[in-house]
Amino acid sequence: MLGSIKIYNQLFIRLVIILMGFGFTTYLLQKDLFYTSLFVGLLVLLLTIELYTYLKNAFQFYDKTIQAILQSDFSADFSKHKSFSNYKNLFKLYETLKNKQNEQVSKDIIYRSILNNVETGILILQKENEDWNIFFMNDYFSSHFEAPKVSKWYYLKNQLPSLCKIIEEQGFSEIKTSLQIRVNKRDSQTFVMQSSRTKTYNQDYYVVLLDSIQKVVEKKEKEAWINLMKVISHELLNSLTPIRSLSQNLKELIDQESLSTEDLDDMKQSVQTMLHRSDHLQQFVESYRKLAMLPTPQKEKTELNEIINNSLEIMQPLFKKENIAITNTIDFKYRLKVDKLQMEQVLINLLTNSIYALSNKENKQILITAETKEKRLFIAITDTGNGVEPEIENKIFMPFFTTRKEGAGIGLTLSKNIIEAHGGYLTYQNKDNKTTFLICLTE
């Protein structure tokens, strides 16, 4: 604001001097002072030319600065400009936009660096008029598919025709599918593809994510092995550490020249503890063997109600003991091809899990329902227990994980393995203070 006022003052003073000079020249002519008036007139002319040059430079400076802003050219440093004080607001705008651009460039560099270090193929397209151009391609996509970082869509179509064909056939809409991609005549690889479309500031973007199924599987396998080894190591150390300590104690007692009655009692106690820990370790190994060597299901046509009723009959004494109300709403006949004994084992495991969940509840109810949908059978077991705690949601199907002191931690894992061996899946959900385990089997 102060700079603008200063410019206005300078213009006003120049105009006043020129007008006064013009008036003075006219006065001198009236007094017949020809040469004096000519001299004053020349001064007025020079002042007019100076005013024109001043205005021209000012407008040119404004124009150059605005052009630099429009072209995002922020390389100039106006702090050293001789007229800096006259254009403070303009320079302030320039510096503000310059700082914002530098901040945006820094963010872009960080975002691109992050995306380039992600081990997932990322391709972002931008729509310009009716054509799509490549806005961004990360390093993993470029290196894995041996695709140069081109800017035009039709260049990529020549490199990856199978991928581009699917995208075009779906009209650049949201897609979630798997596809085979062959790179330079090598063996085809299977990828999981997810895409989404979004608009921002009147710009249309299409984001494509490609994950190698092999990579996903290897990651899951690695995580599973790590978790399993943690559990096994924990169990082994819990048993071997006291056994080693007791063995060392026994050796010291045996090395004595004579044994007292108290020493014999210690030895008996140590041997008993070692036997107990050995039994525990043996049970653990047996549980692991049961999981690792699950027999192939011997499938035969069986009535659903027969499996349900047999399982409920086995569990009835426990229901009665714990005062649990069982409601079985399955009222239709359905024959499914399964291993009857294995399926009964799954139901018994899930019902046992529900009994434990209801141990400290006043309202003890278990509801069994079933429905068929799209050639699939869904069996749901719902209890009014406390549900699965959020912090252990991703652990409940982990081998040997349990929240019960007397539990072995294989019930849910074994049930999940049996259902998957039958070509189905086992999952759960928490809703309205109730926990539901859902079994899905295909026909």
CA angle 267, 273, 279 (to 5 degrees): 135
- Determine the pLDDT at residue 62: 73
CA dist., res. 258 & res. 5, Å (int): 111
Q: What is the identity of the amino acid at 4?
A: S
Q: What is the identity of the amino acid at 289?
A: R
The secondary structure of the chain, three-state, reads CHHHHHHHHHHHHHHHHHHHHHHHHHHHHHCCCHHHHHHHHHHHHHHHHHHHHHHHHHHHHHHHHHHHHHCCCCCCCHHHCCCHHHHHHHHHHHHHHHHHHHHHHHHHHHHHHHHHCCCCEEEEEEEECCEEEEEEECHHHHHHCCCCCCCEHHHHHHHCHHHHHHHHHCCCCCEEEEEEECCCCCCCEEEEEEEEEEEECCEEEEEEEEEEHHHHHHHHHHHHHHHHHHHHHHHHHHHHHHHHHHHHHHHHHHCCCCCCHHHHHHHHHHHHHHHHHHHHHHHHHHHHHHHHCCCCCCCEEEEHHHHHHHHHHHHHHHHHHHCCEEEECCCCCCEEEECHHHHHHHHHHHHHHHHHHCCCCCCCEEEEEEEEECCEEEEEEEECCCCCCHHHCCCCCCCCCCCCCCCCCCHHHHHHHHHHHCCCEEEEEEECCEEEEEEEEEC
Reported for 87-93, long-range contacts at CB under 8 A and 24+ positions apart, including other chains, are 87/3, 87/61, 88/2, 88/3, 89/1, 89/3, 89/4, 90/3, 90/62, 90/65, 93/69
Q: Decide: 115 and 138 in contact? Cβ < 8 Å.
A: yes
Per-residue pLDDT in tens (0 to 9) along the chain, 443 residues: 444 566 667 777 878 888 888 887 887 778 777 778 788 788 888 888 888 887 777 777 777 777 777 777 766 666 555 554 556 677 777 777 777 877 877 878 888 888 888 888 899 999 888 888 888 899 888 888 888 888 888 888 888 887 888 888 888 888 888 777 766 555 567 788 888 888 877 788 999 988 876 665 556 556 666 666 666 665 566 666 666 777 777 777 777 777 777 777 777 777 777 777 676 666 656 655 655 556 678 889 999 999 999 888 888 888 888 888 989 998 888 888 998 888 888 898 888 888 888 887 888 899 999 998 878 899 999 988 776 666 556 666 665 556 555 555 567 777 888 888 888 888 888 777 778 888 998 86
- Determine the pLDDT at residue 368: 92
> What number does CATH give the domain 118-214?
3.30.450.20
Indicate whether this model's pTM tops 0.75: no
- Determine the pLDDT at residue 288: 56
- Determine the pLDDT at residue 177: 80
- Determine the pLDDT at residue 131: 85
**Domain boundary assignment for the chain:** 2-99, 118-214, 216-292, 300-442
- Give 300-442's CATH code, choosing from 3.40.50.1950, 3.30.9.90, 3.30.565.10, 1.10.8.100: 3.30.565.10
> What number does CATH give the domain 216-292?
1.10.287
Handedness of CA 412, 414, 416, 418 (dihedral sign): negative
